[in-house]
Amino acid sequence: MAPGLPERRTHDYMRHGTTTLFAALDIATGEVIGELHRCHRSGEFLTFLRTIEANVPADLDIPLVMDNYGTHKTPKIRNWFVRHPRFHVHFTRTSASWINQIERWFAALTEKQSRRGTHRSTRQLEQVIRDYLTRYNEDPRPFAWTKSADEILANIERFCLRISNSAH
């Protein structure tokens, strides 16, 4: 690797399978509920929703911020939410995953565990993820925004001015 150049894989790089990590972040405590599945369908997502329900005290409402992935919007899932009114579902806009704080946790997982890792099997990758989740939850910390809303909006305004006044 060299500064300014994209990382490359060797010609003999081989994928050994994939896994799906469903994760929910308690933004107050930093604790993460995570579950691995070999598929990313509504059935697996429903299993994860039941895990969340079982791990959150019954007297608490559950605000759930999700991306717009199709699995989250199937009739099966929508009907489940109707029957479980303590879940309050919010979808991020397309290309706005940065606003969902669990994405920061996914980035930390990638940086610390899986990027440039050599996993010889899906099972090995899943164990690495489970181990990280366990270690993380031993001392969870909430993520904090480092910029004020005014600073974020000013950055967006500068970006919009830059791209709208470009010379091409």
In terms of phi and psi (left: phi > 0; alpha: psi -120 to 50; beta: otherwise), the region of 30 is left
pLDDT digits (tens, 9 = 90+) for 53-66: 999 999 999 999 99
13 within domain boundaries: no
Would you say residue 12 lies in a domain?
no
How many angstroms separate the CA atoms of 82 and 68, rounded? 18
Report if residue 9 sits inside a domain: no
Band (pLDDT 50/70/90 cuts) for residue 160 is: confident
Q: How many CB atoms lie within 10 A of CB 163?
A: 8
Task: Round to whole Å and give the CA distance between 19 and 125.
Answer: 8
β 32-37/62-66 pair status: unpaired
Its pTM surpasses 0.85: no
Domain that holds residue 111: 20-165
Number of neighbouring beta carbons within 10 Å of residue 102 = 19
Q: Note whether residue 1 is domain-resident.
A: no
**Exposed/middle/buried for residue 109 (C-beta within 10 Å: 0-12, 13-18, 19+):** buried
pLDDT tens, position by position, 108-141 = 999 888 666 677 888 998 999 999 999 999 999 9
Tokens 């005014």 locate to: 150
CATH code for the domain of 130: 3.30.420.10
Residue 124 lies in a domain: yes
- Structural domains in the chain (count): 1
> What pairing do the DSSP bridges indicate for beta strands 62-66 and 87-91?
parallel
